[in-house]
Amino acid sequence: YYLATETSTKVDPKGSNAIALLYDWKRHHPKRYEEVLRLLSQLKLASHVDAEASLEEILRLDVRPYQHKELVNLADVGFGISQILPMLIADVALPEAGTLIVNQPEVHLHPSSQALLADYMAARLGARQYIVETHSEYLINRLRLLVKSEVVKPEDLDILYFDVGRTGRHKQYSLSIDLEG
């Protein structure tokens, strides 16, 4: 359950007003609401999300997990959906050519959904830029496959790897993906 607050046009860095924004979209901007549903389905996390007001002060979020028939409260499904939902809402709220900065979007997601995050971002490149801090080899490996299959151009990716060497000094390496992935 979430408090129904005045909605903003964007999600704050902690995602705290994402559900209120989703509820507002359901009532006033159905195309944006449907876009969030489509993206959740694309990531194979949920086939439906229903934001409803209870007593006009509290928002309830029910979810139909991917390939399930029942609608359940968000608290009764995997933690990954609640963590990725604010990112999706923030992305849909971005203006054209916007940039979304995300810290470890893969946390609490199944490895297959982590890989699908790369597909998701690749499909939206051009209209968006993504700066992603990740530890997910599934996401990186999917990017490699997308380059090999010519879905993503190598020059559209910048991968930076940070390491603390034996000296304790931070080192940055720029990694490239060639046409073979």
Pairing of strands 128-133, 98-103: parallel
pLDDT above 90: percentage of residues in the chain: 54
Residue 156 pLDDT more than 90? yes
**pTM value?**
0.86
- Return the minimum-mean-pLDDT range out of 21-35, 47-61, 140-154: 47-61
DSSP designation for 37? H
Is the CB of residue 58 less than 8 Å from the CB of residue 4?
yes
- Quick: pLDDT tens for 82-101: 889 999 999 999 988 899 99
* Single-letter code of the amino acid located at 152: V
Structure token digits, residue 110 = 């199944």
- Quick: pLDDT tens for 66-81: 888 888 877 778 788 8
pLDDT of residue 7: 60
